[in-house]
Structure 1
Amino acid sequence: MKYITTLLLLLFFTVGVFAQQTPDGKKLVQFSGIITDMDSNFVVPYVTITNLSNEEQRYAANYKGYFSFVAHPGDVLQFNAIGYAERTIVLPKEIRDSKYTEMIGLKANIVYLPAVRIYPWATVEEFTKDFLSMKIADDDMEIARKNLSGESLSGRMKTLPRNGAEISSENFHSNFNRELTKGLGTTNPLLNPFAWGKLMQMIMSGDKSRQQNSNN
């Protein structure tokens, strides 16, 4: 029984040693990490990772920026992502554990484009035509002159409603005139002898003018 136990332990130890090495004798480590933006610390998703030391094998980070793959100590790894500058790192040559973790930061690649101005005129002739027909806005002096002109004030008087002071004054004058004429009867112009006399004078003047026109 002791021999069987010893043999099993030796077998497990041998398998573990060979599992950590490749056929050429190099050690293998599980390299994991998260890729973030250097400026904002936001994760950078779907980054392409190329192992330049191992026949340029390629791996990809997930949508959370997490990656995990098997590599060798001392491997040269290249990280590429759209909108970010390329970055290359080298794994340490001495890694005691079978796992290695590192946070990878990428620098955003900012490209400043020249400003572009878009004009609504396709040709110079269209611009000239619109420019000549353009109405120039009035300055403050011209606007004040138009607002204080007689025509403008007359129009405002006809359209603007009366305020409280004007209505109160009109009511006061109406009440005052009503009190003055209170109890007085209205005169009939047909009973006014002066009105009849004026009417007769107008008729006689008209007859004389007609006679003069007939004599001429």
Structure 2
Amino acid sequence: MKKLIQYLAIAAFFTVPATAKAQFETARDSVVQLYGVVMTADSLVGIPAVSVTIKGQNRGTLTNDQGVFSIVVLKGDEIEFSHVSYKPKLITIPKSLEGNQHSVIQLMVADTVYLPATIIKPRPTPEQFARDFVGTKVPDDDIEIARQNTSEAKRRVLLRTVPGDGREATSIQFRNVANRAVYQGQVPPMNIFNPAAWADFIQSWKRGDFKNK
């Protein structure tokens, strides 16, 4: 039994490197050096700056001034050729490819691009230019928007419509508690004879703070 275990250990020792070597050979065999030239289909002229990318991956290259390119791919990869002036092309590297090199001559057909219509008008007269220049509405910049938001009228509207935040509500509550503590056991003073209170009342009445909303 002890000898059997020793034989199995020796067999496993020699089997693991063989398996790893086979996997390495398989991975190395799937790598392909793809090279070739991209030309126009009508005149067979090399097309520069053609994007040669592997579909589904962020990897690719560009053709040189003569349309020649070279890139490392894997068997079964889809290679896409694209250019702004030509229709895109898509080829597939055969999985049954023998060897690790593959060359292609890719022809591309010019693509028609339709631009939007351009309307040419005569130059306006000085009178028309002056009229349009004066009548053009210029949008407010950040400084003017800030000035409008901080004006007295805008702040008055915000004071009446925007509710107080937590800090303001807490401050009012603490002030009320302090006033009740100060006048505990006695009648709080009336502001009917306070000139400052009457001035605030008159200003509020002129602003229309007491109008029905």
TM-score bracket, shorter-length normalisation = 0.3 to 0.5
Choose 1 or 2 for highest CA Rg.
Answer: 1
TM-score where L is the length of structure 2: 0.42
TM-score (structure 1 length as normaliser): 0.42
